[in-house]
Structure 1
Amino acid sequence: MLKGIVPILRMFDENKAKEFYLDYLDFQLDWEHRFEPDMPLYMQISRDTIIIHLSEHHGDCTPGAALRVETDDVQALHQQLHLSKYTYARPGVEETPWHSREMTVTDPFGNRIIFAQTITE
């Protein structure tokens, strides 16, 4: 039985990744793993029910992925991100022809996260 999906996103800089995902997007760090101190980092982050793995390992994935994360209130999330005063992003919210309200943020490694709220009429 299938139970869920955990995307793996490529990262190149641990500090930039933590600044973006933990400080800006308000995810929490669940765990980190390195085979040895000078080896690439692999870590898990989460927020609410969303789990993401971030990897410095070159064979795990390619930068430039896109994730779509469903949310109940994209405007509230937008407000929270705006208040954080993150230097490298100022996303907007758009209403789409497919009846959703969406906000896209791009991490320092070229991965996009699309936060989407279905608009009911």
Structure 2
Amino acid sequence: MPPPILHSVIPQLPSGDLQRTADFFRDRLGFTDFKLFPEHGHLIVRRGSAEIHFWLAASEDEARHHGSASSCYIRVQRIEQLHQELVQLQAPFRYGLTRQPWGMHEMQVDDPFGNAIRFGEELSD
């Protein structure tokens, strides 16, 4: 019997307001595909093959509490181009493009509820 096959990992992050989260990902991060399920307290955002799910917390304070310890990492091709785009969109960077000792070129944006959205591209030798 062949072994199981695992596919992509999709983070599930807290939101204190699903519409506000969707607006942020559209306006500040350039995401274009959204599926909002308010009756189930769920939002799905996509850009390219990147996908993030959000669950509605009981309050904005609870979302910020959980969000302060939540993050996701999105691998990118052409990160400098994405950085320029996010600068134009006035994304609130925690830090801009940084060459990390672990071989990644990274930047991080925090969403309105404190979830760390980190983008990274492997450095070429």
Please report the TM-score for the alignment, with normalisation by the length of structure 1. Answer: 0.81
Q: Please point out which of 1, 5, 8 is paired with 2:12.
A: 8
- Whole-Å Cα distance in 1 between the matches of residues 10 and 102 of structure 2? 26
Task: Output the aligned Cα RMSD.
Answer: 1.9
CA distance in 2, matches of 1:97, 1:22: 31
Contact 1:66 1:112 in 2 (8 A): yes
Q: Measure how far apart 1:108 and its partner are.
A: 0.9
Q: Match for 1:95 among 83, 88, 99?
A: 99
Other-structure match for 2:51 = 51
Q: Choose which of 72, 79, 88 in structure 2 pairs with 1:74.
A: 79
Q: Distance in 1 between matches of 2:45 and 2:113?
A: 16
Residue type of the alignment partner of 1:20: F
Check the 8 A contact 1:105/1:113 in 2, yes or no: yes
Identity %: 25
Residue 18 of structure 1 and its aligned partner are, at CA, apart by: 2.2
1:113 lines up with 2:114 in the alignment = no
Please tell me whether the aligned partners of residues 34 and 45 of structure 2 are also in contact (alpha carbons under 8 angstroms).
yes
Q: Which has the higher helix share?
A: 2
Q: Is the 8 A contact 1:42 1:57 kept in 2?
A: no
Q: 2 CA distance for matches of 1:4 and 1:101?
A: 21
* Contact 2:106/2:119, CA 8 A, preserved across alignment: yes
**3-state SS in 2 of match to 1:113:** strand
CA distance in 1, matches of 2:32, 2:113: 19
Cα deviation for residue 84 of structure 1 reads: 1.4
Counterparts of 2:12 and 2:70 in 1: how far apart (Å)?
9
- Structure 1 residue runs of 5 or longer lacking an equivalent are none
Offset at residue 85 of structure 1 (A): 2.8
Equivalent in the alignment of 2:30: 26
- Partner secondary structure for residue 13 of structure 2: strand
